[in-house]
Amino acid sequence: MKRLIMLAAVLLVSVSASATVKTLKGQVGKEVHISVEGNPSTGYSWMLKNLPQQLVFVSSEYQQSKDCKTGMVGCAGTQNFVFIAQKPGKGELTLTHGRVWDNKSWQDSVILVDIRK
C-alpha cells in the first residue's frame, strides 16, 4: 500500500518492497517517519542504504500487524524508521529490502527528500 499522510508536524510515508520513487517532505527540526511493509519471518528485512545529509537517523522498529493474533507466526507488519530533519535541501534516501546475507535479493527503494526551513 502506498500513501502519504501528514499529521501535524510528522510526515508518514508508506511504501512496499517494490516502491517507486516518492517525495518525502519535512521541516527542519521536526521528526520524519517512514513506514514500510515487511515480514522478517521470511528472512527479508529493510536496511538503510543511503542517508542524505538533510536527515539524521534516530531509530528503526518492527511492529507486527494488529491482525496477527496471539500465538500466530509469520505475520506481516511494518518497519518504522524515525529521522530528524536537520538541514534544508533536497536529497535521496535509499532503503534496501532483502536478505542480509544474500545481496542478490536486495531491492532498492529510493525516496526523494525535500526539507524546508
Range in 9-13, 95-99, 102-106, 108-112 the model is least confident about = 9-13
Does 91 have pLDDT greater than 90? yes
pLDDT at 4: 32
* Per-residue cell: 24: 518525502
Stretch (H or E) spanning 55: strand 55-64
Q: How far apart are CA 69 and CA 71, in angstroms?
A: 6
pLDDT at 18: 43
Q: What is the pTM of this model?
A: 0.77
Q: Average of pLDDT values for 66-87? A: 90
Q: How far apart are CA 108 and CA 85, in angstroms?
A: 22
Q: Average of pLDDT values for 54-74? A: 90
More confident residue, 29 or 3: 29
More confident residue, 113 or 20: 113
Exposure pattern of 95-117 as b/e (b: 16+ CB <10 Å)? bbbbeeeeeeeeeebbbebebee
